Structure 1
Amino acid sequence: MIDNLRTSAAHDEDFLYMQIADRLSNQIKGRVLKTGEKLPSVRALSHEQGISLSTAYKAYVQLEIKGLIEARPKSGYYVRYTPARSFDEVKKENTVTESKKLSVDDMIAMVHRHFSADGIVKLSVASPALSLLPQAKLSKSMVEAIRISANSCISYEGVQGNENLKKHIARLAFGWGGNILPEDVVTTQGCMEALVFCLRAVTKPGDVVAIESPTYFGIFSTIQTLGLKIVEIPTHPVEGLDLDFLANAIDEQQVKACLFVPTFSNPLGYCMTNERKKNLVELLAQRQIPLIEDDIYGEMYFGKTRPRTCKSYDKGGLVMLCSSVSKTLAPGYRVGWCMPGRFKKQVINLKLMHSLSSASPTHAAIGHFFETGRYDLHMRNLRKALYTQCLRYTQAVTEFFPADVKVSRPNGGYVLWIELDKKIDAFELYTQAIAYNISISPGQIFSTDSRFTNFIRISFGAPYSPEIEKSLKTLGQLMSKF
């Protein structure tokens, strides 16, 4: 008799948690509960529904298994949205389309003109909204750094940079598997200057540099400005660089250096696995080819742990890691750095010739901001906000854009890479969108030869809002007219 009662009670509990899970599932699918929205705690759900803690927990586990919600460490349960259309099964496509009337440089110039214009919804800018940055705390660090400085930050820093800043950059490297000392770091005016110093340290005009395709237009523009030639390495939207293609290109085109963004690339958003990063480092080490690793998005991860870098697998000093706080904390402060490995002497000489030293006040301020522990707290909040925004934007794309679009699934960074119908010309879409005060990045500007004509890049750096939603709806309507 007792066994029968126990069996009946267990059956009732199973039935109850399935009921709760089904009701929540319907609310999520009906968008009553929206992507990124926080759910009641297990205890709150138990109290609200008059069920046991065990039943409430089982209901959430059931929804988690279905991929409808997710648990975030020390934060609770959140609604998760997984789009049906993604790049997961997309095949590599390396065909080059016919050139258009405008050059890539002309297109980049047009897009750039609207980066800072007022009254434009800037879906083209891959950086955080100012509302997500700790402006008041940064100002306090600036004031305090100047106050405690022996010369009020008006004299030149040492050529390698602010000592306190270098110390905390070295500590930050521990999170990505680095074994870095302050003397291994050279500070710069932003990440782009670091990339330029590293490129000039290992190449001369006429040399060939391998980059990924698609890639951020600032990278290949900079390489071309230095008089270097480019070979583009195709990438998979999930796996990243085609290492077999790279190996053949090295042998056939005498590549002298590589410049890649292995962690949350811009615009694809992929993060190469640790194994593939290690394989990349070993491939280049065998041929003694330097790798310039642009890690500017590395701290914007949505998972539980910070992805490792290629630099963490470097045994011979051939990997030159470059980064900055431009995408995480203070774009206007121009605080960047590189870890140039065996090429440190060359980079220091280039810095002496180019800028002599870094800007004392801003670099001291960022060093102070790190020292107070404010950076870790800020980054936790920023990652949480970006992940929620990524989900909301992705949901809007699948809801408002034509049914045949495909969208990337980044696990970090700021951008979505979207494949449109082949009939749609991305730059023409851009020109039509500007008429509605909406700026996007057309796919043509992410390669040297205007390929990716039916792709666009959209940034989710700004918090989702009615204005953003209206803009995405408008973009969807413009696409449908094609």
Structure 2
Amino acid sequence: MSEDFLRYEKLADELAGMMAGGVLKHGDRLPSVRRLAEERRVSVSTVVQAMRQLENRGLIEARPQSGFYVRRTRMAHAEPLLRTTPDMPLAVDISQRLVRVMQAGVRPGVAPLAAALPASELMPVAALHRLYAGVARRHPDLLCSGSHINMDDPLLVRQLVRRSLAWGGPLAAEEFVITNSCTEALALCLRAVTKPGDTVAVESPAYYLMLQLLEKLGLRALEIPTDPRTGMSVEALDLATRNGGVAACLLVSNGSNPLGSQMPDERKRALAQLTAERGVAVIEDDIYGDLHLAEVRPWPIKAFDTSGNVMLCASFSKSLSPSLRIGYVAAGHRRSAIALQKTISSGATNPITQRVLAEYLESGAYERHLRTLRRCYQSQVDAMSLAVSLHFPPGTRISRPQGGYVLWIELPEGVDTTALYEQAVAANLAYVPGELFSASGMYRNCLRLNCGNPHTPEIEDAVRRLGLLFSSAQIK
């Protein structure tokens, strides 16, 4: 191997690492060939060869009379494939395995690649601290109030109604129930429209906490094929519901977890109409709706619901703080049934936190915060995508999220992410194995990575070491 070869390979790898680490971002102009040659004390031809290699990797592009620029590398790799799913509904059994994975993922020293949690430094913690102090001082009555009748703060409901203008609304204030989280909102909806033994149609792959809810409520999951770009197949849902037997449809239409897909409006409209006609209740998780990676906030399926059949659930755990524990349901014609379930299970949601959130939304700070947060998440998703494309085995497929901040990775056949998980954890690496996103245990060659943290050299190194683990398994 020649010395020149080693030099341009090293330069190409160093520049690629700067892209992966966010030092060089999409659209940035690279230093000129002559400047790089002078600064690195190499020949111009060495720099040119390094640039050609980066072009071949799809990482940079040459612009006439201008130089080399970093490409949006999310478009430079293949996406995961649409999978065929089982025809029959299945009992769910993932809770014990999921708990072990979640516990391992938050162990001290483990790279934060598993749980889909945002970095604390991205959240407006100081502003929320000030609001808590101010609300407690100005409204001491909230410290001693707790009602199982008047559970929802009217000021917060008013802010949610105002926000629903961007969701294709406005929605009626009477539809809303404030909950302790989005997970509680989903559970309340499921309890209101199903009984043990019923079948619920879910995306495949599906968010594992949704599957865990089905397991705990004694419900069966019917996996519906889900496209990495356009979401749940309405055609497959049509076939699955023709003969009845499906009580509800549980899905994420905007920025689905784990694929990051976004269902086009025409498909949302078709799904809303189909399910209403067939008496299939729709429970829509829109927790990532505000975290879209496009210019305009996408409408939820709820926007196309004309019969009150869609229950829209969300929270602020991914955008403000997981510790707030504030979610909500816009429940359509099932509002009374869901409010009753809420009264029985947990009563009113913390009144002080409800008022803090209401005041934060009213101030306009949330929209300003979201604009910054979406840019951060976009950059972090791009950096993680680039790192995976650099370090994972050839043939790896990577999702192109349209919302949220997780990546779905499909490794070559023969790489079993469940079998390799213990080795990863022993090396202080963690991820969520793909089979936890399926009631039938599909996706054993897949995994989900969290991009909620700034892409530091430590995270880059963790992705590199994961890539080595998967590559060595593929060789064996």
Which TM-score applies when normalising by structure 2? 0.83
State, as a whole percentage, how many aligned pairs show the same letter. Answer: 35
Q: Does 1:452 align with 2:443?
A: yes
Report the Cα distance in structure 2 between the residues aligned to 1:457 and 1:32, rounded to whole angstroms: 22
Q: Any conservation in 2 of the 1:212–1:260 contact (CA below 8 Å)?
A: yes
Which region of structure 1 is more displaced relative to structure 2, 282-291 or 149-158? Answer: 149-158
Residue of structure 2 equivalent to 1:171: 162
Deviations 1:294-340 (A, max 9, x none): 11111111111001100001110000000000111111111000000
* Alpha-carbon shift at residue 160 of structure 1 (Å): 4.0
What is the RMSD of the two structures over their aligned residues, measured on CA atoms? Answer: 2.8
Aligned residue-pair number: 424
Residue of structure 2 equivalent to 1:129: 119
Report the Cα distance in structure 2 between the residues aligned to 1:362 and 1:451, rounded to whole angstroms: 40
Q: Does 1:357 align with 2:342?
A: no
Q: 2:267 aligns with which of 253, 256, 276?
A: 276
Unaligned runs of 5+ in 2: 1-10, 30-54, 62-68, 88-92
Q: Does 1:34 align with 2:34?
A: no
Deviations 1:155-177 (A, max 9, x none): 11553411111111111111121
Unaligned runs of 5+ in 1: 1-25, 43-62, 70-76, 97-102
Q: 1:406 aligns with which of 397, 411, 418?
A: 397
Q: Residues 91 and 181 (structure 1 numbering): CA distance in 2 closer, same or farther, change over 3 Å?
A: closer
Residue of structure 1 equivalent to 2:110: 120
Q: 1:425 aligns with which of 393, 416, 424?
A: 416
Q: Residues 377 and 136 (structure 1 numbering): CA distance in 2 closer, same or farther, change over 3 Å?
A: same
Residue of structure 2 equivalent to 1:390: 381
Report the Cα distance in structure 2 between the residues aligned to 1:413 and 1:465, rounded to whole angstroms: 19
Residue of structure 2 equivalent to 1:236: 227
Deviations 1:75-107 (A, max 9, x none): xx986223432217x3434379xxxxxx63332
Report the Cα distance in structure 1 between the residues aligned to 2:422 and 2:416, rounded to whole angstroms: 10
* Alpha-carbon shift at residue 441 of structure 1 (Å): 0.5
Which region of structure 1 is more displaced relative to structure 2, 386-395 or 447-456? Answer: 447-456
Residue of structure 1 equivalent to 2:371: 380
Q: Residues 295 and 28 (structure 1 numbering): CA distance in 2 closer, same or farther, change over 3 Å?
A: farther
Report the Cα distance in structure 2 between the residues aligned to 1:300 and 1:119, rounded to whole angstroms: 28
* Alpha-carbon shift at residue 429 of structure 1 (Å): 2.2
Q: Does 1:295 align with 2:286?
A: yes
Residue of structure 2 equivalent to 1:80: 72
Residue of structure 1 equivalent to 2:3: none
Q: 1:346 aligns with which of 319, 333, 337?
A: 337
* Alpha-carbon shift at residue 351 of structure 1 (Å): 1.4
Report the Cα distance in structure 2 between the residues aligned to 1:183 and 1:145, rounded to whole angstroms: 25
Report the Cα distance in structure 2 between the residues aligned to 1:202 and 1:133, rounded to whole angstroms: 35
Counterpart of 1:434 in 2: which secondary structure? helix
Report the Cα distance in structure 2 between the residues aligned to 1:146 and 1:160, rounded to whole angstroms: 18
Q: Any conservation in 1 of the 2:397–2:409 contact (CA below 8 Å)?
A: yes
Residue of structure 1 equivalent to 2:43: none
Residue of structure 1 equivalent to 2:145: 155
* Alpha-carbon shift at residue 349 of structure 1 (Å): 1.2
Q: Residues 276 and 266 (structure 1 numbering): CA distance in 2 closer, same or farther, change over 3 Å?
A: same
Aligned amino acid, residue 144 of structure 2 = I
Counterpart of 1:439 in 2: which secondary structure? coil
Report the Cα distance in structure 1 between the residues aligned to 2:151 and 2:286, rounded to whole angstroms: 19
Q: 1:436 aligns with which of 427, 450, 453?
A: 427
Report the Cα distance in structure 2 between the residues aligned to 1:39 and 1:327, rounded to whole angstroms: 24
Q: For 1:103-118, what aligned pairs fall within 5 Å after superposition? A: 104-118=94-108
Aligned amino acid, residue 305 of structure 2 = D
Report the Cα distance in structure 2 between the residues aligned to 1:400 and 1:370, rounded to whole angstroms: 41
Which region of structure 1 is more displaced relative to structure 2, 379-388 or 236-245? Answer: 236-245
Counterpart of 1:428 in 2: which secondary structure? coil
Aligned amino acid, residue 127 of structure 1 = L
Q: Residues 313 and 140 (structure 1 numbering): CA distance in 2 closer, same or farther, change over 3 Å?
A: same
Report the Cα distance in structure 2 between the residues aligned to 1:292 and 1:438, rounded to whole angstroms: 34
Residue of structure 1 equivalent to 2:253: 262
Residue of structure 1 equivalent to 2:128: 138
Report the Cα distance in structure 1 between the residues aligned to 2:120 and 2:355, rounded to whole angstroms: 21
Which aligned segments of 4 or more residues in structure 1 are displaced greater than 4 angstroms?
26-33, 35-42, 66-69
Q: Any conservation in 2 of the 1:237–1:408 contact (CA below 8 Å)?
A: yes
Q: Any conservation in 2 of the 1:319–1:341 contact (CA below 8 Å)?
A: yes
Q: Residues 273 and 28 (structure 1 numbering): CA distance in 2 closer, same or farther, change over 3 Å?
A: farther
Which TM-score applies when normalising by structure 1? 0.82
Report the Cα distance in structure 2 between the residues aligned to 1:476 and 1:38, rounded to whole angstroms: 22
Report the Cα distance in structure 2 between the residues aligned to 1:41 and 1:203, rounded to whole angstroms: 52
Report the Cα distance in structure 1 between the residues aligned to 2:345 and 2:26, rounded to whole angstroms: 53
* Alpha-carbon shift at residue 28 of structure 1 (Å): 12
